[in-house]
Amino acid sequence: MSGGRRAWLVVNLAAWLVTAAWCEPSTYVVQMSREEMPASGTALEWFAATVQSAAAAEATEMSLEGGAERIIYTYESAFHGFAAKLSEDEALRLERRPGVVAVFPETVYQLHTTRSPGFLGLQSEAFVGFRSSAVASYDVIVGVLDTGIWPESASFSDAGMGPVPARWKGACETGRGFPAKSCNRKIIGARAFSRGYEAFTGGPDGGDLSPRDHDGHGTHTAATAAGSAVANASLQGYAVAAYKVCWPGGCFSSDILSAVDRAVADGVDVLSISLGGGVSAYYKDSLSVAAFGAMEKGVFVACSAGNSGPEPVTLANVSPWITTVGASTMDRDFPAAVVLGTRRKLAGASLYKGVRHLSPEKQYPLVYFGGNASSPDPASLCLEGTLDTKLAVGKIVLCDRGITPRVQKGQVVKQAAAPPGPSSLAADRRRVAFNILSGTSMSCPHVAGVAALLKASHPDWSPAAIKSALMTTAYVQDNTRRPLRDAAAGAAGRASTAYDHGAGHIDPARALDPGLVYDIGRQDYVNFLCSQKLTPLELRVFTRSSKESCRRALASPGDLNYPAISAVLPAHSPAAKLTLHRTVTNVGAAASTYRAVVSSFNGATVVVEPTTLRFTRKYQKLQYTVTFTRRARRSSPEFGALVWKDAAHSVRSPVVVTYLSPI
């Protein structure tokens, strides 16, 4: 064969491989414009016709399928559109079709893998008294998107629970190992969403596609957010609806979107979502778009910040309409010590129950199953199914700490708060009644549970008002009255900042009566998005209308009425000035007077106007401005706070001043 002939074959093969990849079907989420839907026919018929119109020109097996057969989900509550199997070529052509707002490729999200009720003050006499009256006045429903639920856990007993709320429109889906009796007056709904997972894997792998939790993560988060009262182990909560979206291969965005859409239609008040898929622009993140739709329907959405960091820009779920939750430690540990053959003593922690007596006088051999490769070895983490039981018998198994570093998130004020995350005790009935898990996954349901308590007390509060109450009443000192520390720097590390702990450690009792709240509505968020210089089509992803304009765009993104204040000043521009605007709503006593106390900064002067706010009625709104003027050359960010005080309240907003050098 001649060299020219071989070269032609290689080029032809490469072209064939590129074409094959171009035509290979994948799952895409397609957002449609409700206002452009034809007057005749159903939404499904319109979606199917749209898919068929973009079918590949070449007669592939997939392109010959009808549009309806290729649709795996339709969405209509928090999001309007569908998920379908498309080739990359078809997806690109679909973006240009009339009525199509956006096309999102399938994204695989990952899980952000008790003493906490007492630590949060939820077992105090005053709080228990409040909760009893709140339960009677408003039935809150918490939806948990995770790996499912283990209904036999004591945390999901319905003893003492009232009837299922009449407004509930959900269902209890049955399946293998999950009969109808799995639901009760506590677990009022359970659903499984697996079509995206099945489309990616080619079909069921023999696993259980019911809502039953075989991982433990979902049961743990559900019990933390809204578990029933269990002696020494629970944060008492409300009705639970479990939405299983995570499977052995991950959590797929088409499944997550369907669960959010269904949860909003079912009637949940709070959503707890302990997973994430990295950072992307707001309009490119399907979860962000769905959460925006949930916010419009009055649903509070809490998402975990992720376990990356503490490097800059490591936060997940950054949209301001999502309450992003970091993790912090609490005042509990399980101390234990290991004595080596050299008599060296190493302090650590252990959950050993003492079922088998181990003599402190005897030395036991160590075994480590990790390999010598530079990449992480699952056996080194002692993950399920990775250990050789024959080699482990009678030995102490050495495990690396794992893939969830106990650190705070960094370089963004977006993190709303940092409730307990490491060593959270909650239900996990797969092998033991309760288990300890760590990470922001475990923090997220703490905030969701407290948000449910606030919703019970204040049913008319918006998601933003609840978030504001949580943030402005958070504290930044530990239980010894010292500043919170940065866990990434070790026990003797520096004091943490707003980049590490967000607004601080949540205080549920104070959040019930915050005094003032920073409320934000749908139009406020639209004005914020306009300040981000989105194109009309990008903005339409959220507004779902071509008629909305940016005439009321904020002067700067920092003008969003957020409970934290971030000022960005040019590092090399003398006397640079920035004025930010805020509006507070009085939710305390009708006649109230608040006075401002603001931190001083080395690189800028800060002036609050007015310095006194006088309210004459409840729910009255008053405005103020904060003006920053650069006065000294500085490169590193500075941190402080603005606090509005009256006789009974301290309404604290973290303040960050960043000095931005030109690129």
Residue 592 Cα distances to 468, 595, 649, angstroms: 19, 10, 10
Task: Name the burial class of residue 348, with classes exposed (0-12), middle (13-18) and buried (19+) by CB atoms within 10 angstroms of its CB.
Answer: exposed
Q: What are phi and psi of 376, to 5 degrees?
A: -60, 140
Q: Cα 78 vs. chain centroid, distance in angstroms?
A: 16
What does the DSSP assignment read for 165-190?
PTT----B--BTTB-GGG--SSEEEE
CA distance 439 to 446: 12
Question: CA-CA distance, 142 to 308, in Å (whole number)?
Answer: 27
Any bridge partners for residue 336, and if so which? 348
E strand spans, 42-140: 71-75, 81-86, 100-105, 108-111
Please, what sign has the CA dihedral across residues 50, 53, 55, 59? positive
The residue whose two tokens read 């978030």 is 467
Q: Is 564 exposed, middle or buried (0-12, 13-18, 19+ CB in 10 A)?
A: buried
Residues 62 and 87: beta-carbon distance below 8 Å: yes
> By CB neighbour count within 10 A (0-12 exposed, 13-18 middle, 19+ buried), where does 385 fall?
exposed
Residues acting as catalytic residues: 146, 217, 441
Closest CA to 284 of 90, 103, 430: 103
Among candidates 407, 601, 420, which has minimal Cα distance to 504?
420
C-beta neighbour count of 568 within 10 angstroms: 17
CB neighbour class for 176 (10 Å; exposed up to 12, middle 13-18, buried from 19): exposed
Name residue 303's beta-bridge partners.
273, 324
Q: Is 294 helix (H, G, I), strand (E, B) or coil?
A: helix
Q: Which tokens belong to 605?
A: 């002067």
Strand partners, 324: 303
Strand 621-630 and strand 604-609: pairing? antiparallel
Closest of 93, 82, 83, 68 to residue 33, by C-alpha: 82
Q: ∠241-513-615 over CA atoms, to 5°?
A: 130
Question: Which two tokens mark 40?
Answer: 């005749």
